[in-house]
Amino acid sequence: MDDVEIKASGSLYSFAPDGTLKTLISGTRVSNGLAWSPDYRTFYFIDTPTGVVMAYDYDLATGEIANPRLVVSVPPELGWPDGMTSDIEGMLWVALWGGAKPTRWNPATGQLVAEIPLPAFNVSSCTFGGPDLTDIYVTTAREWMSAAQLAEYLLAGGLFRIRTKIQGMPTFEFGA
């Protein structure tokens, strides 16, 4: 991506265990959140400046994506969609840069179903962990914050753990 995040000069790549590199999506500005549906048949992707989450049909055997469609449109007043993860109920957890919260969205309806306010303005990503994958870990940043924002959001740049009753999706070791 370019330094000012205006030119659509970025891409999303897939790197296979055999060393094969292929371009999946071209013309992105800030490639960010990646997630999959519980059946691994849908891939979700965020290009932050667009303010949306896109879905693609996903072929688990080949890693190919097809049929792009908009599933979530984040209102600008909530912040910018950044990092993302998914849970076993098929919901998407989207970190909101400049929004001070991770949010939970239903990709089937595009509706916001939950939000967790944090004492940190720039929420950058989230993922599930813990013994039962029911803790959500949320990263935040201090970059590009004004002195007033830093005074208001004293824990900006911190890592947060939030205990939930919702189980996240398992992750896999590369090449396994």
pLDDT in tens, 103-155: 999 999 999 999 999 999 999 999 999 999 999 999 999 998 999 999 999 99
Q: Is the pLDDT of residue 14 over 80?
A: yes
Q: Residue 124 in contact with residue 97, Cβ under 8 Å?
A: yes
In a domain, 90, yes or no: yes
Strands (E), the chain: 10-15, 21-28, 31-36, 42-47, 52-58, 65-73, 80-86, 92-97, 101-106, 111-115, 122-129, 135-141, 159-163
Q: Quick check: is 169 in a domain?
A: no
Strand, coil or helix: 17: coil
CA 77 to CA 68: how far, in whole Å?
25
DSSP 109-147: TTEEEEE---S-SEEEEEEEESTTS-EEEEEEE-TT--H
Give the model's pLDDT for residue 129: 97
Q: What is the spatial distance between Cα 8 and Cα 1, in angstroms, rounded to a whole number?
A: 7
Its pTM stands at 0.94
Residue 149 lies in a domain: yes
Residues in CB range of 37: below 8 A, 6 or more apart = 43, 44, 58, 86, 90, 107
Which amino acid, 89? Answer: E
Report whether pLDDT(17) > 90: no
How far is residue 31's CA from residue 51's CA, in Å, rounded to a whole number? Answer: 12
Task: Please indicate, yes or no, if residue 174 is contained in any of the structural domains.
Answer: no
More confident call, 65 vs 17: 65
End-to-end CA distance of the chain: 30
pLDDT for 161 beyond 80: yes
- Quick check: is 35 in a domain? yes
Q: How many domains does the chain have?
A: 1
Domain assignment present for residue 175? The answer is no
Domain that holds residue 109: 10-163
What pLDDT, in 10s, does the model give residues 27-68? 999 989 999 999 999 999 999 999 999 999 999 989 999 999
Residue 175 pLDDT exceeds 90: no
**Residues recognised as catalytic:** 82
Structural domain contains residue 148: yes
Per-residue pLDDT tens over the stretch 162-173 = 999 999 999 888
pLDDT value of position 126: 98
CATH number where 110 lies = 2.120.10.30
Of residues 58, 75, 57, 76, the one with CA closest to residue 67: 57
